[in-house]
Amino acid sequence: MTTIGFIGLGIMGGPMARHLVAAGHEVTGFNRSPEKTRPLVDAGGRAAGSVAEAVDGADVVALMLPDSPDVEAVLDGEDGVFATAKPGTLVIDFSTIRPDVARDLAERAAARGLRMIDAPVSGGQAGAENATLSIMVGGKADDVGAARPLLDAVGRTVVHVGPIGSGQTVKAANQLIVAGNIALLAEALVFLQAHGADLPAAVEVLGGGLAGSAVLTQKAQKMLDADYTPGFRIDLHHKDMGIVADAARAAGVVTPVGALVAQLVAATRAAGDGGSDHSALHRTIAGLSGEATGRP
């Protein structure tokens, strides 16, 4: 049994924290909007009124926050984790942030006698709810080993991919692939619709061949229904395409298809769909062919 402070109980963090309770751990959660601690309390966890309260007495601090500045503020801000955690505490950052920020924060954690790994996840809301996430883990082998039982409680495919920051690099690649997949799935549906194809039948047979994918399985029906409730918000995918662009530039490689898809993601956001699921890329792509699917 591990005592865990869990910060960020949104679409992903909420169910992940509850799985940790179900695995027998003592979990105290903190979220900026306090009402999101309710499902954790109902599941047997505890609610904290501040980061410091969630961290008090914890052996492990888990974070599932939107972006790099959020993680930096919670870790190194006033009364944050670095200022309040006991020496030796293991910080597991499940958030998707910039790899360079992950490395920098891990150095600052080490300077305060804390340990840190990056453990961004893939698998969407369904993966969080079913504890079937893919988790790409960066950090020292000892720290990853110590975190392993907790990672296994929320994920199915847990892989140590290298030193701190490597998890974020692999996650950036994941987001590049997912965005490209969504864009092409949306184009294919617009194309099929223009031909008057039987869309459910087309999706079924496409799913059984090489065009099949987790994206097709999880997102095609949302596109056909024009149901863009998140899921994974366009705002977050826009953030991730920025991470990809910066990291690619830093490595001196180009991602031309990714750059185009990033523009479509940005256009979707600019048109008012930032809070919609990333399947709303379909709305932008349909609009390019003059197909209106309605704006929020």
Rounded Cα distance between 33 and 46, Å, is 15
**Identity of the residue, 32 or 295, whose beta carbon is nearer to ligand NAP in the bound complex:** 32
Q: Cβ closer to ligand NAP: 193 or 221?
A: 221
Minimum distance from CB of 217 to ligand NAP (Å)?
14
Minimum Å gap between C-beta 192 and ligand NAP is 26
Which of the residues 36, 171, 219, 239 is marked catalytic?
171
Q: Which is nearer to ligand NAP, 89 or 174 (CB)?
A: 174
Which of 68/284 has CB closer to ligand NAP?
Answer: 68
Shortest distance (Å) from residue 196 CB to ligand NAP: 33
Q: Which residues are at the interface with ligand NAP (CB under 6 A)?
A: 7-13, 30-33, 36, 64-66, 70, 73-74, 95-96, 121-122, 124-125, 231-232, 236
Q: Provide the minimum distance between the beta carbon of 12 and ligand NAP in the complex, in angstroms, as a whole number.
A: 3
How big is the chain, counted in residues? 296
Residue labelled with tokens 């999880």: 218
Closest to ligand NAP by CB, 39 vs 287, is 39
Burial grade of 43 (CB within 10 A; 0-12, 13-18, 19 or more)? middle
Angle, vertex CA 20, rays to CA 243 and CA 179, nearest 5: 25
Buried b (16+ CB within 10 A) or exposed e, 125-150: bebbbebebbbbbbbbeebbebbeeb
Nearer to ligand NAP, 96 or 202 (CB): 96
Q: Which residue's CB comes closest to ligand NAP?
A: 10
Q: Nearest distance from residue 7's CB to ligand NAP, in Å? A: 5
- The phi-psi region of residue 272 (left if phi > 0; otherwise alpha if psi is between -120 and 50; otherwise beta) is left
222 annotated active-site: no
Smallest distance from ligand NAP to CB 237, Å: 8
Tokens linked to 154: 């929320």
Among all residues, which ones are annotated catalytic?
Answer: 171
